[in-house]
Amino acid sequence: MVTNRPRPVPGVQQRWELIFPTFWADRTPVHEAARRGELLQLQQLIESGACVNAVTYDSITPLHEASLRGQAQCVKLLLDAGAQVDARNIDGSTPLCDACSSGSAECVRVLLSHGARVNPPLFTASPLHEACMNGSSECVQLLIDVGANLEAHDCHFGTPLHVACARQHLHCAKLLLQAGTAIPPGIPRESPRESLGNHPGKHLPLPPPSHPAEFPRS
């Protein structure tokens, strides 16, 4: 069906899409500036009225982009401009999950200071899982300090300790054990917790997956 839709005036249409992007869209200039860490460009876009909560087809916000790339200054700028701190992408991950995945402790601090939930209700890996997967002991400690759930369970990876062991991130495993995490089935209890510090080169065994048909992602 043909409609008599008015033709956009050059320049006006671009500004309209900048300020009021469609809900499902390709990455906006705000996404690109946040991803690249272009702080001045991002500031100018925000001042011109660009939407800081625009989402892509896969529900990624500019805050997700900045967090995943470790762009802490852009993260702070977006949050100060009203970005949703616990926005979820298509996988359910929040910007805090992405910051932990990138290993950016600075981004984690900024997000937590703006009220990011350390234990968001997820059906996928938690921020603590992501930090353990990345091997960022600094991020792991930051999350533990604010009450991260040490026993959070993911159907693919198990607990954060499972992840730390599977990836052989021994310092992360040590932090979890020192914080009081339970030793799950599959990790021999004859290996004392303090041995992690005495034998840093010793590999912890990979626990069996919760479901026989599921295996940890590479």
Q: What is the pLDDT along the chain (218 residues), one digit of tens a residue?
A: 433 434 444 444 344 344 444 444 578 999 999 999 999 999 999 999 999 999 998 999 999 999 999 999 999 999 999 999 999 999 899 999 999 999 999 999 999 999 999 999 877 799 999 999 999 999 999 999 999 999 999 888 899 999 999 999 999 999 999 999 988 665 555 443 443 444 343 444 444 444 433 434 43
Residues of the chain with CATH 1.25.40.20: 17-117, 119-218
Q: Tell me the chain's radius of gyration from C-alpha atoms.
A: 21
Write down the CATH number for the domain with range 119-218: 1.25.40.20
From CA 71, how far away is CA 63, in angstroms rounded? 9
> Options 3.40.50.300, 3.40.50.12780, 3.30.365.10, 1.25.40.20; which CATH number does 17-117 get?
1.25.40.20
| Whole-structure pTM value | 0.76
Q: Which helix (H) or strand (E) holds 44?
A: helix 39-47
Residue 120, token pair as written in the block: 């968001």
Residue 36, token pair as written in the block: 């690249």
pLDDT of residue 150: 96
From CA 55, how far away is CA 52, in angstroms rounded? 9
